[in-house]
Amino acid sequence: MLTLKVFAPAMGQKSPSPFSMKAIALMQMSGLDYQLKPGDPRKGPKQKLPVLVDGNKQIPDSTHILAHLKKAHNIDLDQELSPEQMAVAEAFRRMIEEHLYWVLVYSRWIENGDEVREGFFGSVPAIMRKFVFNMIVKKVRASLYGQGMGRHTPAEIHAFGAADLEAVSQYLDTRDYFFGDQPTSIDATIFGIIDSIIVPRLDTELKKNAISHQNLIDHHTRMGQHINIKDV
């Protein structure tokens, strides 16, 4: 039996991470039998989640999980794509996962710290909660600075988020899914990030921006129905 380890549900999401939501979408799209388990990133091979456990193998990273589905289970979610579409998908995936993701991190941990602290660490005794949260925020700030996003002003960061969402929305256009009427792995990536932007009850510029693109909201709803997210 396959096991997908993700962050436990929080802030209204099945898992409060775009990569975990993407991995859930990929597993649902694969049609394979699997169980979902809350994981601890510190115990994972790369200290991050999601991790797929397949027998005695651990596969960390949503990209490697996608590749594993193809290699080990002969399930290629992108088999209908042309080489050109594969290239476009790869470029959008990098933009979402290596750029837009950091705008999301900023909007959560830096701009909405109080809500995120209660949403993520509500079960931690109150006396410890601020301490644990402050320690993590320190690490998040350092990561944001190291990656580069954290060196910009709030207005600049909001503009980066708006431009990335605009690009996804423009390319998606009026199609049901990114490349037509059938979802592929890039739709799982888009689902993961949009879910993480719009589902938590946080008042962010990024969310305002996302919900101004009706085709992104419709895509999120459509993907949610396609993968039966309510039943996960």
Ligand X SMILES: N[C@@H](CCC(=O)N[C@@H](CS)C(=O)NCC(=O)O)C(=O)O
Choose, by CB under 6 A, the member of 63, 169, 204, 209 that binds ligand X.
Answer: 63
Distance in Å, CB of 181 to ligand X, minimum: 26
DSSP state of 182: S
Determine if the peptide bond prior to 50 is cis (ω within 30°).
yes
Report the residue from 50, 119, 161, 224 that binds ligand X according to the rule CB under 6 A.
50
Question: How many residues line the site for ligand X (CB under 6 A)?
Answer: 10
What are the helix (H) ranges across 38-184? Answer: 62-73, 83-95, 101-105, 113-121, 126-147, 154-172
Compute the distance between CA of residue 201 and CA of residue 215 in angstroms, rounded to an integer: 21
Q: Residue 230 CB, nearest distance to ligand X (Å)?
A: 22
Strands 51-54 and 57-60: antiparallel
The encoded tokens of residue 184 equal 């592929």
Which contiguous run of DSSP H or E holds residue 77?
none
Q: Does 49 bind ligand X (CB under 6 A)?
A: yes
| Contact string 6-45 vs ligand X (x = CB under 6 A) | -----------x-x---------------------x----
Of 48, 70, 99, 226, the one binding ligand X (CB under 6 A) is 48
Least Cβ distance, residue 73 to ligand X (angstroms): 18
Query: Would you tell me which residues interact with ligand X (CB under 6 A)?
Result: 17, 19, 41, 47-50, 61-63
